[in-house]
Amino acid sequence: MSKKNPTLEAVIPLYAVSLSRGYLKGRTRLQKILFLIQDKLATVLDYEFKKGYYGPYSYKLRSIVDELVALGFLDEIVETTASGNDMVCYQITDSGQALLTHWLGQNILPQTARRRIDDIYDKYGTLPLPLLVRRIYKEYPEWTEKSALLSP
């Protein structure tokens, strides 16, 4: 696990969705969880996060997830929030689960990395989104300077 691996960068979003019982609510949540995962696996991952309007954001990760959707490994489902806004959610498909199972069997995502990801998900994965964002802002203040959520 010493160099960046495009297959690994594709398997981790699938794995993150699977940790959410196969259904992960929100692009922002996915971005923040993968930011935290990259922080722990930086020697093998580079989603090229940038400072965005809501903290760390990766166009590369968005492109990878869009490709997983286009290939039929993830479904994108739009839900309406209580405030009337659209929220994009991700559901792993049967073929996505089969691919993930195959990749895990091939040790594309080694046990040590899985444990780190599991720990991150256990700590942050089920937090309400506003609390997850606040925690990232508190723990990574250098990523918030362009944030639309902070008062000037």
pLDDT value of position 152:
42
Residue by residue, pLDDT tens for the chain (152 residues) are 335 778 899 999 999 999 999 999 999 999 999 999 999 888 888 999 999 888 899 999 999 999 999 999 999 999 998 899 999 999 999 999 999 999 999 999 999 999 999 999 999 999 999 999 999 999 999 988 777 665 44
* Angle value at C-alpha 133, between 140 and 62, nearest 5 degrees: 90
Q: How far apart are CA 57 and CA 62, in angstroms?
A: 9
Contacts of 52 (CB under 8 A, 6+ apart): 146, 147
* pTM of the predicted protein model: 0.90
Q: How far apart are CA 139 and CA 124, in angstroms?
A: 12
The region that residue 29 occupies, defined by phi over 0 for left and psi between -120 and 50 for alpha, beta otherwise, is alpha
Q: Residues 17-56, buried b or exposed e (16+ Cβ, 10 A)?
A: bbbbeeebbbbbbbbbbbbbbbbebeebbebebeebebbb
Q: How far apart are CA 51 and CA 150, in angstroms?
A: 13
pLDDT value of position 5:
79
Q: What is the pLDDT of residues 133-149, one digit of tens each?
A: 999 999 999 988 777 66
**Domains of the chain from N-terminus onward:** 6-143 (1.10.10.10)
Contacts of 33 (CB under 8 A, 6+ apart): 16, 24, 120, 121, 124, 125, 132
Within the chain, residue ranges assigned H as helices are 6-19, 27-40, 59-70, 94-105, 111-120, 129-139
Provide the terminal-to-terminal Cα distance of the chain, rounded to the nearest Å: 41
